[in-house]
A and B are shown apart, each in its own frame.
Chain A
Amino acid sequence: MFKTILLAASADHACDNAAKSAFRLADLTNAHITVFHVLGMPAHGFSQEVIDVKTGEKVEASEEYISWVKEEIKIYYAKQFEKTKSFDIKIAVGMPYREILREIKNGRYDIVTLGGTSKEKISVYKKHMLGSTVLRVAKASPIPVMVLCRPSSSFLKNISSILFCADFSKESDAAFNFAANLAKFFNCNLDIFNVADISPVFSKNIIEQDEIDSQISAAYKKIEEKYIPHTKNIIKTVANVCEGIPYVEIVKYAREKNSSLIVIAHHNKENENFGSNMEQIIVRSASPVISINK
């Protein structure tokens, strides 16, 4: 399923959860793992002073420093590396999200894994940027992006079911294919889930229950037509639609179903909506979330 996995992480606790999932995924799929660490923005000109993303301190991005960082990462993930088929460590200098995207572009990765960043250390470099590294990578990445911020009970130990959040867009179709393939590969259940968004009620736009009902039945029909025909080789596929605030319902549903993985499409149409929904799911979900862009 995956040959190479890119783990974009600094060797600290903020990334632990994502790292664990990435290594587990590498284990499951017998993949090569590349740990990618971005040192930060260089001070100007050609002075090699960079602001370390992890510590926020000014450091010299000399060869010695870089090899020291590599060594740190090696020690930090020593246990995991033991079990991994093969791995390598790469260091880059620049704006983290940009360098991650550059690495994705230049390398041949099948999936990229990201962790959260520790909020209190946000450096001045980020202040003028909109959105987080995760959202920016998710928006532009041509490969699936797996994110996990919270500790998970399973860390993919047992992949029993995959939750696919459908929204019927073009990107969503791609996400479905990916989710279906995963379900086939891991030989597990697939939950197809759609939420009829009722968030307009908060701006006092009352939605009639009839309208919600018709939305729900339309969604069922779409799932039936679009996705179910492609689920023949999956052991069990369940479709479910309900009304609510999308991210709340998705997180709730994933918990209920004990989903091992959540697959969600990233699409640009409702950019802002996506941003907040996606972010909320990532922040709240106890399962890794995979975002698909194209």
Chain B
Amino acid sequence: MYSGKLCSKEPVKTKEQLQALLKDTRGKTYYKEMQNLEVDTDLLWKTIQTTLNSRIKTWLEICSRCGICAESCFLYLANDKDPTQIPSYKIQSTLGEIIKRKGDVDNAFMQTAMETTWGKCTCCNRCAMYCPNGIDTGVMFSYLRGLLYQQGFVPLEMKIGAGMHRIYYAQMDITDEDFIDTFEWIVEEYEKDYQGLKVPVDVKNADIMYTVNAREVKYYPEDLAYAAILFNLAQENWTVTSKGWEETSLAMFAGDWEACKIQVKHVYEAMERLKPKRMIGTECGHAHRATVIEGPYWMGRKDGKPPVESIHYVEWVAEALRTGKLKINPEKRIKTPVTIQDSCNYVRNGGLKDITREIISYIVEPGYFVEMEPCGENNFCCGGGGGFNGIGIYRNHRNKGLTVKRDQIIKTGAKLVLAPCHNCWDAIRDLEEEFKIGIKWSFLKPLLIDMVEIPESMKPAS
């Protein structure tokens, strides 16, 4: 069976392979090799037989093909109601077809399926709320991603991302040393501004173990400093772990279930080693989904919960503001029209809608907050979820998809968009770059830093 040097059914296992993939500009060689990739139809059918259970089978069977799901999909709306963008059509013409043909599909079919799976669905699960039969097409696409990944039909960046987790236990090539080093370095920069600021590393039995997104370490280390400052201001007994500090999982986007397990196991081991009271993840949606919501199942934890109580950063912020651990200077509350982007991964799929609204009640001057329409669980995906942001070959699909969010934001008249999710933040940044609608966007941390009152004991020494 043909196997390319870069594009094969084998997952990335060495740093050299990763380097080779990273060097392949725009995946020229990778996608060229994909043209020759053979489909292991036996394996495909065998995998389906062992993993496809009554839920997905039933979904595919009882789909009334009524088309009600069409308007639930932002990509359908963004693409001028192109019928081929209907969730039902997308899944029936890919997964449905594979099953109908008992796995007997060819290279061209798989490549089309790949485009549909990563370029036409962000697994935002919005359609699940709109189907009378309770069919969750997002879940099925996630399943299909696994099948395609196994066959090697996966976009370059997803292959790399999953490989990163396998090698670095992080979505980017950042070692444990890099992480601690960067965290300490960046906190050092702020020591003068906040007395007593420090990063406790590997402290056992702390109240909080903080986990991050590797992108913060690589490109936005300020975010780490802000987290440290806010924990210190709130006088939390917190720590970071020198191993298992990465909360995200591009492996989940890639459908590399084995890597998902490798990654989340690493984090859970850190929890078990340090025994914190709680784990708090950074302002990232899919990281929460991967480590807190899906992770327990990859690890086979029957109660569906991580080893220690794990919450999203917004939950901690709401709690800190509610209990007065963090105090907002009322004069510094946001006084520009502001809206919030609800992240699919922890709002629709995590139930934290009310929590973010509570935060807004503390940090935004009454009268300045405008909801998007629709919002909460019904909000549309930012346009960049599920790995969509990062995939080069589907960039045009993605940019087209952003128009729905753009129009939603314009309609609110907001000048600032709160985006407590890395993917949403990135997508909104890109939509501003693409369409220039004159908005600002922000995580919560930098806004809070400007708003919170600093206790005397932490003010800079004079």
Residues of chain A touching chain B, judged by Cβ–Cβ distance below 8 Å, are: 41-49, 60, 62-63, 94-95, 98, 101, 105, 123-125, 127-128, 139-140, 268-269, 271
A-B contact pairs, 11 of them (CB 8 A): A43-B390, A44-B390, A45-B157, A45-B390, A47-B26, A49-B392, A94-B218, A98-B222, A105-B185, A128-B441, A269-B460
Q: How far is the CB of A246 from chain B (nearest CB, A)?
A: 18
Q: Which listed residue (B156, B250, B442) contacts A128, Cβ 8 A?
A: B442
| A46 engages B432 (CB within 8 Å) | no
| A47 engages B390 (CB within 8 Å) | yes
Q: A45-B160, A60-B26 are in contact. List 19 more A-B contacts (CB 8 A).
A: A45-B161, A45-B387, A45-B391, A46-B22, A46-B161, A47-B391, A47-B392, A48-B26, A62-B25, A94-B219, A98-B222, A101-B189, A105-B185, A124-B436, A127-B432, A127-B440, A128-B442, A268-B192, A268-B193
- Given A98-B221, A268-B193, the answer on whether A48 and B25 have CB atoms closer than 8 Å is yes
Give the distance in Å from the alpha carbon of A60 to the alpha carbon of B27 in the complex.
Answer: 12
The chain B residue sitting closest to A93, CB to CB, is B219
Number of interface residues of B (CB under 8 A): 37
Q: How far is the CB of B188 from chain A (nearest CB, A)?
A: 9
B246 within 8 A of A: no
The chain B residue sitting closest to A129, CB to CB, is B222
Give the distance in Å from the alpha carbon of A44 to the alpha carbon of B382 in the complex.
Answer: 15
Q: How far is the CB of B430 from chain A (nearest CB, A)?
A: 8
| A60 engages B218 (CB within 8 Å) | no
The chain B residue sitting closest to A47, CB to CB, is B392
B429 within 8 A of A: yes
| A60 engages B442 (CB within 8 Å) | no
| A140 engages B189 (CB within 8 Å) | yes
- Given A41-B219, A94-B219, A140-B189, the answer on whether A46 and B440 have CB atoms closer than 8 Å is no
Give the distance in Å from the alpha carbon of A48 to the alpha carbon of B220 in the complex.
Answer: 18
Give the distance in Å from the alpha carbon of A271 to the alpha carbon of B220 in the complex.
Answer: 22
| A95 engages B220 (CB within 8 Å) | yes
The chain A residue sitting closest to B172, CB to CB, is A46
- Given A98-B221, A127-B440, A128-B441, the answer on whether A46 and B189 have CB atoms closer than 8 Å is no
Give the distance in Å from the alpha carbon of A139 to the alpha carbon of B191 in the complex.
Answer: 12
The chain B residue sitting closest to A61, CB to CB, is B25
B426 within 8 A of A: yes
| B390 engages A46 (CB within 8 Å) | yes
| B219 engages A269 (CB within 8 Å) | no
Q: Which listed residue (A47, A60, A98, A124) contacts B429, Cβ 8 A?
A: A124
| B440 engages A128 (CB within 8 Å) | yes
B433 within 8 A of A: yes
Give the distance in Å from the alpha carbon of A125 to the alpha carbon of B218 in the complex.
Answer: 16
| A44 engages B426 (CB within 8 Å) | yes
Interface of chain B residues 422 through 461 with chain A (CB within 8 A) = 426, 429-430, 432-433, 436, 440-442, 460
Give the distance in Å from the alpha carbon of A14 to the alpha carbon of B441 in the complex.
Answer: 29
Residues of chain B touching chain A, judged by Cβ–Cβ distance below 8 Å, are: 21-23, 25-26, 156-157, 160-161, 185, 189, 192-193, 218-222, 250, 384, 387, 389-392, 395, 426, 429-430, 432-433, 436, 440-442, 460, 462
The chain A residue sitting closest to B432, CB to CB, is A124
Q: Which residues of A contact B156 (CB under 8 A)?
A: 46
Give the distance in Å from the alpha carbon of A43 to the alpha carbon of B23 in the complex.
Answer: 15
Q: Which residues of A contact B222 (CB under 8 A)?
A: 98
Q: Which residues of B contact A123 (CB under 8 A)?
A: 433
Give the distance in Å from the alpha carbon of A45 to the alpha carbon of B185 in the complex.
Answer: 25
Q: How far is the CB of A55 from chain B (nearest CB, A)?
A: 14
Give the distance in Å from the alpha carbon of A290 to the alpha carbon of B440 in the complex.
Answer: 33
The chain B residue sitting closest to A41, CB to CB, is B219
Q: Which residues of B contact A127 (CB under 8 A)?
A: 432, 440
Q: How far is the CB of A130 from chain B (nearest CB, A)?
A: 8
Q: Which residues of A contact B426 (CB under 8 A)?
A: 44
Q: How far is the CB of A50 from chain B (nearest CB, A)?
A: 11
The chain A residue sitting closest to B181, CB to CB, is A105
Q: Which residues of B contact A63 (CB under 8 A)?
A: 23
The chain B residue sitting closest to A124, CB to CB, is B433
The chain A residue sitting closest to B422, CB to CB, is A44
| A95 engages B389 (CB within 8 Å) | no
6 A-B pairs with the lowest CB-CB distances in the bound complex, closest first: A45-B390, A45-B157, A47-B392, A44-B390, A140-B189, A124-B433
The chain A residue sitting closest to B427, CB to CB, is A44
Interface centre among B189, B222, B430 (most CB of A within 10 A): B189
Q: How far is the CB of A170 from chain B (nearest CB, A)?
A: 9
Give the distance in Å from the alpha carbon of A63 to the alpha carbon of B19 in the complex.
Answer: 12
Q: How far is the CB of B21 from chain A (nearest CB, A)?
A: 8
Q: How far is the CB of A94 from chain B (nearest CB, A)?
A: 5
Q: Which residues of B contact A42 (CB under 8 A)?
A: 219
Q: Which listed residue (A41, A46, A60) contacts B157, Cβ 8 A?
A: A46
Give the distance in Å from the alpha carbon of A7 to the alpha carbon of B445 in the complex.
Answer: 32
The chain A residue sitting closest to B160, CB to CB, is A46
Give the distance in Å from the alpha carbon of A190 to the alpha carbon of B389 in the complex.
Answer: 55
Give the distance in Å from the alpha carbon of A248 to the alpha carbon of B450 in the complex.
Answer: 29
Q: How far is the CB of A155 from chain B (nearest CB, A)?
A: 31
Q: Which residues of B contact A45 (CB under 8 A)?
A: 157, 160-161, 250, 387, 389-392
Q: Which residues of B contact A101 (CB under 8 A)?
A: 189
Give the distance in Å from the alpha carbon of A43 to the alpha carbon of B396 in the complex.
Answer: 13
Q: Which residues of B contact A105 (CB under 8 A)?
A: 185
| A95 engages B219 (CB within 8 Å) | yes
Give the distance in Å from the alpha carbon of A124 to the alpha carbon of B384 in the complex.
Answer: 18
Q: Which residues of A contact B395 (CB under 8 A)?
A: 43, 47
Give the distance in Å from the alpha carbon of A49 to the alpha carbon of B436 in the complex.
Answer: 20
Q: Which listed residue (B23, B219, B389) contacts A98, Cβ 8 A?
A: B219
Interface centre among A62, A101, A128, A268 (most CB of B within 10 A): A128
Q: Which residues of A contact B389 (CB under 8 A)?
A: 44-45
| A268 engages B442 (CB within 8 Å) | no
Q: Which residues of A contact B462 (CB under 8 A)?
A: 269
Give the distance in Å from the alpha carbon of A127 to the alpha carbon of B21 in the complex.
Answer: 32
Give the distance in Å from the alpha carbon of A286 to the alpha carbon of B50 in the complex.
Answer: 75
Q: How far is the CB of B214 from chain A (nearest CB, A)?
A: 12
Give the distance in Å from the alpha carbon of A95 to the alpha carbon of B156 in the complex.
Answer: 24
- Given A47-B157, A94-B219, the answer on whether A268 and B460 have CB atoms closer than 8 Å is yes
- Given A44-B426, A45-B387, A95-B219, the answer on whether A60 and B25 have CB atoms closer than 8 Å is yes
Q: Which residues of B contact A62 (CB under 8 A)?
A: 23, 25
Q: How far is the CB of A126 from chain B (nearest CB, A)?
A: 11
The chain B residue sitting closest to A139, CB to CB, is B189
Q: How far is the CB of A177 from chain B (nearest CB, A)?
A: 18
Q: How far is the CB of A158 from chain B (nearest CB, A)?
A: 36
Q: How far is the CB of A25 from chain B (nearest CB, A)?
A: 25
Give the distance in Å from the alpha carbon of A283 to the alpha carbon of B442 in the complex.
Answer: 29
The chain B residue sitting closest to A127, CB to CB, is B440
Give the distance in Å from the alpha carbon of A84 to the alpha carbon of B26 in the complex.
Answer: 38
Q: How far is the CB of B244 from chain A (nearest CB, A)?
A: 22
Give the distance in Å from the alpha carbon of A271 to the alpha carbon of B194 in the complex.
Answer: 13
Give the distance in Å from the alpha carbon of A124 to the alpha carbon of B189 in the complex.
Answer: 25
